[in-house]
Amino acid sequence: MGKKMSSSGVAPQRSYRIDEWGAVNFAVLLIIIGVFWIIHPTIWTEIGRFLSDLRPVSFNGIPVFVEPRGIFTFLYGVAAEFFAVLSLWLFSLTAIRLYQHSHPRLVSKTVTRAVFLLGLGLFSWQLQIGGLAFRSIVPLIVILLGATLIIQGLWNIFIVK
């Protein structure tokens, strides 16, 4: 299938708006990472311990997943805090975008990312308190990702048009 041509015989240019908050959003992410690094100076050591502790989990002799052998409540707690703070920023950015009448697609992307990160924070917190087994994380993240993509898609279909 070819591109639709205008009456002048030239393919119309795709119009899109530049995300005016993109650089600010990235800067806030860097600041949050820096603050967490200061508050939790051993975080990189903990991440290294976590990654080196991952072991394969097999199903019918086929490795399908990795999970840690140890319990990393400190790391899960920091992750829960990080995702909560980041989602709080994105919900604030959503409010700013709505106030500024930003393009509805930017609003939907921002709010669905905030919901996704809030879900990751909830999962991390449940890992920390022992309410969730680590091997449940991947399927739950897949479900959460699917749900947020459906919400974003429906928003774009019915609101953006």
> What pLDDT tens digit does each residue of the chain (161 aa) get?
455 555 556 555 544 567 788 899 999 999 999 999 999 999 999 999 999 999 998 888 888 888 898 889 999 999 999 999 999 999 999 999 999 988 888 889 999 999 999 999 999 999 999 999 998 998 999 999 999 999 899 888 888 76
CA-nearest of 115, 125, 80 to 94 is 115
Q: What are phi and psi of 6, to 5 degrees?
A: -80, 175
Q: Looking at the DSSP assignment, which residues form a beta bridge with residue 62?
A: 59
Which residue from 71, 108, 64 is spatially nearest to 90, judged by alpha carbons? 108
**3-class DSSP state of 63:** strand
Backbone angles phi, psi at 64, to 5 degrees: -120, -10
Of 80, 108, 83, the residue nearest 94 (C-alpha): 108
Q: Where are the domains of the chain?
A: 22-160
Between CA 100 and CA 142 the distance in angstroms is 32
For the whole model, what pTM was predicted?
0.82
Q: How far apart are CA 106 and CA 102, in angstroms?
A: 7
Residue 58 to residue 104: CA distance in whole angstroms: 44
